[in-house]
Structure 1
Amino acid sequence: MNTTSVPLFHALHRQPSPLRLPNAWDAGSARQIETLGAQAIATTSAGVAWSLGYRDGNQLPVAEYVARAASIARVISVPLSADIEGGYHPHPATVADTVRRLIDVGVVGINIEDGSADPQLLCRKVEAIRAASNSAGVELYINVRTDVYARNLVPAKDKAGEVILRAQNYRHAGADGLFVLGLVDAEEMQTIAQSSDLLLNVIIWPGLPPLDRLNEYGVRRLSVGSWLPQTLWAHNEQLVRGFLSDDETAPLMATATPYSAINTLF
């Protein structure tokens, strides 16, 4: 691990403008993202799962994910954060062991989510992860994702308050950042950001305010999530359908990046 990546990744969350964090799914996508100017890279767990032949939703075998993280870390020089969904196990000690393995291959930050589970379980996982990272001598950036908005876990009028309550508990457990999936209301962003010591992370989502105004609402980090592989999946479908059914070959070559340009990235 590049030891300078850890404090750098923390510092990137305190820039004047929110950190724009593109999400990669393999070494090739990560290398391309870095060359386009990304200050850091995160994985999309959905994209990684699909690329390895698994459904998204805590289905990834840990060994395969660690190997994928290692392959990404090998080809980039910017900080790498890994989305580990719910940690791929219900027991905090096992989740902490998974994180230790990711730290060993160069990961300096993680995302871990509560989903529809008891938020106290996530607190225990974060505590175990923090203890493991401290014992490894790494100030891991722990970004907790809450699905209060995305899953409509409480009535609309209670969502911001529920997120703030959870954020207080997650902060006490050792988290650094708060990722509120599905949060798009500017006023609620401000309320949550001002009511928590955790640095607010949002994601590209329908109805999101203009990106150049997010800092006004307290946002410190903006993710792409799985939108990149989803969009590329649709584009690939069009190309393959054209080739198989419509005798269309020109689209395959019309916008292709030159072979040499890709090859020289590695």
Structure 2
Amino acid sequence: MTDTIDSRQQKARRLRELHRPGEPLVLANVWDAAGARLVAAAGAQAVATASASVSWTLGSADGDAADRDEVLAQTARVVRSVGLPVTADLETGFGATAADVGGTVAALLATGAVGVNLEDAARPADEAAERIAAARAAATAAGVDLFINGRTDVFLHQIGDPAGRLAEAVARLRAYVEAGADGVFVPGVADPETIAALVAAVPAPLNVLAGPGSPSVPELAKLGVARVSLGPGLAKVAYAAVRRAAGEVYGAGTYTALDGGLTYQELNALAEG
């Protein structure tokens, strides 16, 4: 798919418009072109990568272990495969310094992606905010209205005293918004009361990570959530299918786990675009 600065700006505006509290943008995160086209055909309004899923397909562990250029090349393949806005999960930004993160974001924009996730991991809040500010500066310099999703892992990694996690997350997220984040992402939260408190306390669209045990999309909409992500959920299901089928053929020597798969013709058609 061809991409011009005008079409990129249109995609950037569209991605921003899709973040509406109470009408969540649902992202079934992918890691390759075929997955992106399957998700688009299912009704996605935008496409997102998941850092873990991309890392695994590149043969790396999640957690800033993948090669930055390989991740960006994979992102470019996803962008080229669909006409929808694409937002990429770039973990902490693949760089030791804020300036490095700015360079990563400039390279991301060259792929045609119009959104990015940047997480704080174990970094101090002021350092994470500085990295978001560098990302915003890089996008401004490129003339692209990049949607920056500032993520805190306070709940996901259970950082600090449980009683203080909500206040810590809110303080971090407000700092990220002030630094230039357009939305905020809090994986590890499924409790409706906590989600509602985050929506009320942070002046930016809230993104939550969903999966088994999470409130449904309609329930999250009622809480005011603006974005729902599946993260590596699809990849985990896909790789579980590979393990089942491989275990069966190398064990019993049978093939029943292959039943229900997509046909060769369907997948080949996806590759043809």
Q: TM-score, normalised by structure 1?
A: 0.96
Residue matched to 1:61: 67
Residue matched to 1:33: 39
Q: Amino acid of the residue matched to residue 230 of structure 1?
A: K
- Helix, strand or coil: the match of 1:152? coil
Q: Amino acid of the residue matched to residue 264 of structure 2?
A: Y
Structure 1 residue 191: Cα displacement: 1.4
Structure 1 residue 16: Cα displacement: 4.8
Structure 1 gaps of 5+ residues are: none
- Distance (whole Å) between structure 2 residues aligned to residue 158 and residue 15 of structure 1: 25
Residue matched to 1:239: 245
Q: Residues 117-128 of structure 1: matches in 2 within 5 Å?
A: 117-128=123-134
- Helix, strand or coil: the match of 1:235? helix
- Helix, strand or coil: the match of 1:219? coil
The alignment-based identity, stated in percent, is: 34
| Structure 1 vs Structure 2 CA RMSD | 1.3
Residue matched to 2:58: 52
| 2:186 is equivalent to residue 192 of structure 1 | no
| 2:99 is equivalent to residue 93 of structure 1 | yes
Structure 1 residue 157: Cα displacement: 1.8
- Distance (whole Å) between structure 2 residues aligned to residue 207 and residue 250 of structure 1: 29
Q: Deviations over 1:2-41 (max 9, x none)?
A: 2310000000112752110110111111111111111111
- Distance (whole Å) between structure 2 residues aligned to residue 256 and residue 162 of structure 1: 45
- Is the alpha carbon distance of 1:78 and 1:31 closer, same or farther for their aligned partners in structure 2, counting shifts above 3 Å? same
Q: 1:221 aligns with which of 227, 247, 257?
A: 227
- Distance (whole Å) between structure 2 residues aligned to residue 52 and residue 210 of structure 1: 31
Q: Residues 107-256 of structure 1: matches in 2 within 5 Å?
A: 107-252=113-258, 254-256=259-261
Residue matched to 1:262: 267
Aligned residues between the structures:
265
Instruction: Report which structure shows greater RCO (CA 8 Å, sep ≥6).
Output: 2
* Contact 2:88/2:115 (8 A) holds in 1: yes
* Contact 2:36/2:47 (8 A) holds in 1: yes
* Contact 1:182/1:205 (8 A) holds in 2: no
Structure 1 residue 154: Cα displacement: 2.1
Moved more, 131-140 or 29-38: 29-38
Q: Stretches of 4+ moved more than 6 A in 1?
A: none
- Helix, strand or coil: the match of 1:201? strand
Q: TM-score, normalised by structure 2?
A: 0.93
Residue matched to 1:104: 110
Structure 1 residue 168: Cα displacement: 1.4
- Distance (whole Å) between structure 2 residues aligned to residue 167 and residue 118 of structure 1: 12
Structure 1 residue 64: Cα displacement: 0.5
